[in-house]
Chains A and B, each alone.
Chain A
Amino acid sequence: MAGIEIRNLRAAYDKADVLHDVSLDVAPGKITCLLGSNGAGKSTLIRAILGLTPPNAGTIKLEGEDITGLPTHKVIARGIAAIPEGRRMFPKMSVTENLRLGAYQVRDEALIRQRLEKVFTLFPRLAERRDQLAGTMSGGEQAMVSIGRGLMGGPKILLIDEPSLGLSPLYVKENFRIIQGIRDEGITVFLVEQNVRQTLAISDYGYVLSGGKLVAQGAAADLASDEAVHEAYFG
C-alpha cells in the first residue's frame, strides 16, 4: 500500500505564486479528491508531485520517502502514474503505441502484453481500434486511451487530472465507474476534479483548493453537505 504526504508546499511559475502552504495526505488504497474551480492550482499540485514544476518549498513524500524535486522519470519509477489534464495523446502514434508508452519503464514484454490485454478487456473499443492513430479518435475514445495508458505501468498510485473535462455526461459517468474499479483493485487514486457531486460520490476523502490555498477538507460524505465547498465554487 502506498500513500502521498504533502507538507507546506509552495509552487510558482516564474514570479506568480500559485500554491501557498498546501498540506495534504493521499491515503493508501483510497480515492482522495482535490476539488477547486479553474485556476485554483490543482494541476500545478499534480505537476509538483510529478516533478514537472518543482516546488519552491515544502516536501512531498511517497511511502515515507522524500521525492521532492526528483526528475519526473524517477518519480514514475517509484510507482506513480498520471492521467494528465486534456488526455494528452501522442497524436501521430497508434493506440497500441500510446498504451506501450504508459509501460515505458516496464522491460518485461510478457507483462506488457498481459497489461495490454487487460486494457483491451476494460475498453473493447480500443481493441478494435488498436492500430488507429490516437490523434484521429474522438474525445471519449482518447479518454479511454489516456486511462489505459495510466494503468499500463502497473502503478501503486494514480494521479488523475480532470478526467471528465470536455466529455459527454455518459462518458463522464462511465469514467467515474472505472476509477472506482481502479481503486477496488488496490490502486491509490488522487483525483483532481471540478465536478463536485459525482467526484464526492466515488471519493473516500476530499480537499478543496481555492486561490492556491486549502479551504476545506473532510470525508467525502461530509464535504458534500459542507458550505465551504459551495462557497469555494460559487462564493
Chain B
Amino acid sequence: MDFGLIAQYLANGILLGTMYALVAVGFTLFFGVLDVIKFSHGDVLMLGTFIGFTAWLGLEAIGIVNPWIQLVGVLLCSLAGTALIGAAIANWLILPLKKAPQLNTLLITLMLGTAIREAVRLFYPNGSNPKAFPALLPDASVEIGSFALRADSVILVISGLALIGALNLVINRTRLGLAIRAVAQDEETARTMGINYTLVVLATFAIGSGVAAFAGIMNGLYYNEINFGMGLILGLIGFSAAIIGGLGNLYGAILGGFLFAGLQVIGAALLPFASAYKDVFAFAVVIALMAWKPTGLIPERSSDRV
C-alpha cells in the first residue's frame, strides 16, 4: 500500500473519530447526570442538521451568499435550536420519567427518535430524499505526493477538536462543570450543596445536544449530503463509542469515538474490494471488545461519573 492511501485513510479516520467523539460525549453526559440512555440522541442530531440546512436555505433566500456568514448562521441556528430541543426533551420527557424504571426511558426515547425521524421524512419538503448540503468551506487542497489534504477536512477536524477541548474545560474548570460532576457523582448531596438539580440537568442536555448538532453539520459539510436517516447510524456509533469507552467517562467516550473510526478505516483498508463491509467489521470488533471487557475500556466504578 502506498503512502498516499495510508495518509488518506488516516485523515479520514481522524475526521470520523472527531465526529463520533462529539456524539459519544452526549451519551456519556446524559448517563452521568441522570443514569439514562437517551436513544433519540442521533435523531435529535439529524433534526439539528436539518435546522442548519433550513437556515442556509433562508439565508440564500434573503440574498446572503457569503459562505463564511452562511456558515456562522447555519452553526448558530443549528446548535442553539438543538440545544433547546435537547433541554425540552429532558424537561418534558426524561425528568418526568425519573422515578420510572430505566427501561421505560430507554423505550420512550427510542420511540421519540423514530417519531422525529418519521416526522422529518413526512413533513420536511421532499423529506424522504437526500438533501444536497452546501459546501461552505473552501475546497482547496494540498497535494502531498499522491495524497490530497483537503482544507475543509482540516478546518472540520480542528474545530471539532477545539469543541471537545472547550467541553472539557467547561466540565473541569467552570462552576457549571463542577455542578454537573457533583450531580453525576451524588445527586442528593449535590442538591444539599444548593445546586439547582433541574437546571443542571437541562443545561447538560442542552450542551450534549448542541455538541451533537455540530457533529451533524460536520457530517453535512464533509459529505455534502444529509438525509432523515443519518442520525440512526451516527447515534448507534456514538452510543457504541460511549459504551466501549466505559459509559459515564468523558475521556472514554472520546477514546471510543476514535477507536470506532479507526476500526472502520482498518475495515475499509483490509477489505478494499468491499469497503461497504467496514461497518460490519467495526461492529463485529466492538462486539468482541464488549465480550472481552464488558464494562468498557475505562470501566466506571459506580462513583466514577463524568
Contact of B303 among A84, A92, A97, A102 (CB under 8 A): A92
Q: Tell me if A90 and B192 are in contact (CB < 8 A).
A: no
Please encode chain A, from 70 to 100, with 1 for each CB lying within 8 Å of some chain B CB and 0 for all others: 0111001100001010001011110001001
Contact partners of A163 in chain B: CB under 8 A: none
Please encode chain A, from 36 to 52, with 1 for each CB lying within 8 Å of some chain B CB and 0 for all others: 00000000000000101
The residue among B186, B188, B194 with the most chain A CB atoms within 10 A of its own CB is: B194
Contact partners of B193 in chain A: CB under 8 A: 76, 101-102, 104, 149, 153
By a beta-carbon cutoff of 8 Å, the part of chain A in contact with chain B is 50, 52, 71-73, 76-77, 82, 84, 88, 90-93, 97, 100-102, 104-105, 135, 149, 153
* Chain A, Cβ-Cβ closest to B305: A92
Q: Are A92 and B181 CB-contacts (below 8 A) given A52-B188, A84-B189, A135-B303?
A: yes
Contact partners of A76 in chain B: CB under 8 A: 192-194
Contact partners of B194 in chain A: CB under 8 A: 72-73, 76-77, 104-105, 153
Contact partners of A52 in chain B: CB under 8 A: 188, 191-192
Contact partners of B303 in chain A: CB under 8 A: 91-92, 135
Q: A72-B192, A91-B303 are in contact. List 10 more A-B contacts (CB 8 A).
A: A73-B195, A73-B197, A76-B193, A88-B186, A90-B181, A92-B304, A93-B181, A101-B193, A104-B178, A104-B193
Q: How far is the CB of A66 from chain B (nearest CB, A)?
A: 19
Q: How far is the CB of B168 from chain A (nearest CB, A)?
A: 15
22 A-B pairs within 8 Å (CB atoms) are namely A50-B191, A50-B192, A72-B194, A73-B191, A73-B194, A73-B195, A77-B194, A88-B186, A90-B182, A90-B185, A91-B303, A92-B305, A101-B182, A101-B190, A101-B193, A101-B195, A104-B175, A104-B179, A105-B194, A135-B303, A149-B193, A153-B193
